[in-house]
Chain A
Amino acid sequence: MPTEDGTPAADEMIEVDLRNPAVAAVWAWVCPGAGHIYQRRYSKGILFMVCILATWFFGLSLGGGHVVYASWKKNDHRWQYFCQLGVGTPALPAIVQSQRAKKGQEPLMDGWMAPPRNVANYETPEDELSQWHLEYHSFFELGTLYTMIAGLLNVLVIYDAYAGPMVIISEEESDKPPPDNQDDS
């Protein structure tokens, strides 16, 4: 942000070496913060990694590992997974579990990130999704929210790895003509 006298703040004058921005963006999606570590922006990389992964795993634990799953069937369109997928690799086991469920195979890892069974029998004792809601109460929604926000935050981080910090220019600053034009006139 510019200071009051119009000069840029100290950190805006730093030249950021983004190395290969596309590779950094892919790394940032694969693991939050990894893109920044690839660019040797270590402190920011560690900050992003700690914040996003802590939010993600805290949310996942609130819902007993069931709040992240991939499903698109009747009575259970899990649109939240598209937001959760922003966090990258940590969300991918849900796709493996979903594929296994489609083939009729038993879920791996004690049903962790596996889609619920028997959701067609809505609100019956066989409906696993209803059972999860009953067991975890509001923590199921809270865990879903935490993991969704972690995924969406990582979208910001991917952008930061690709393009560098987003500096907001105030309206007054943006209305001013560029210095080169002033010299020409």
Chain B
Amino acid sequence: MIDLLAFVADTNRLWYALPLVVSVSLVYGATRHELMGPILNNAFRAAVWIGGFMSIIFAVLMLISWAV
């Protein structure tokens, strides 16, 4: 139970990544396009890519921490 609570507390900190991902994606998208439509489209794809990449790294680190 304590382990579960510790895990939830740790994963809650991941929410702090959300505003950073949104901000980085929007700025990244806006440096590649001029109109708002393509900017938002590019930002969405960048956010998905960053989220996917972070999820893979998260899963790998979790596996390592459980294995060791």
Partners in one complex: yes
Given contacts A47-B39, A142-B16, A167 and B32 within 8 Å (CB-CB) = yes
**Cα distance A159–B33 in the bound complex, in angstroms:** 13
- Chain B residues lying within 8 Å of A153, measured Cβ to Cβ, are 23-24, 27
- Chain B residues lying within 8 Å of A120, measured Cβ to Cβ, are none
Instruction: Confirm or deny: A43 has a beta carbon within 8 angstroms of a beta carbon on chain B.
Output: yes
Interface of A is mostly: helix
In the bound complex, do residue B19 and residue A41 qualify as a contact, i.e. CB atoms below 8 Å apart?
no
Q: Mark B7-37, 1 if CB is under 8 A from A, else 0.
A: 0000001001001101110111011111111
Instruction: Confirm or deny: B38 has a beta carbon within 8 angstroms of a beta carbon on chain A.
Output: yes
Instruction: Confirm or deny: A69 has a beta carbon within 8 angstroms of a beta carbon on chain B.
Output: no
In the bound complex, do residue B34 and residue A14 qualify as a contact, i.e. CB atoms below 8 Å apart?
yes
From A52-60, A88-96, A125-133, A173-181, give the one contacting chain B: A52-60
In the bound complex, do residue B31 and residue A157 qualify as a contact, i.e. CB atoms below 8 Å apart?
yes
B residues contacting the other copy or chain, number (CB 8 A): 20
A residues contacting the other copy or chain, number (CB 8 A): 32
- Chain B residues lying within 8 Å of A52, measured Cβ to Cβ, are 23, 27
- Chain A residues lying within 8 Å of B19, measured Cβ to Cβ, are 54-55, 58
Instruction: Confirm or deny: A109 has a beta carbon within 8 angstroms of a beta carbon on chain B.
Output: no
Residues of A with Cβ closer than 8 Å to B? 1, 9-11, 14, 16, 41, 43-44, 47-48, 51-52, 54-55, 58, 138, 142, 145-146, 149-150, 153, 156-157, 159-160, 164-168
A and B contact pairs by CB, cutoff 8 A, 20 listed: A9-B33, A10-B35, A11-B34, A14-B34, A14-B35, A44-B30, A47-B26, A47-B30, A51-B27, A54-B19, A54-B23, A55-B19, A149-B23, A149-B24, A153-B24, A157-B27, A159-B31, A165-B33, A166-B31, A168-B32
Closest 8 CB pairs of A and B: A11-B35, A51-B23, A11-B34, A160-B31, A55-B23, A153-B27, A156-B31, A11-B33
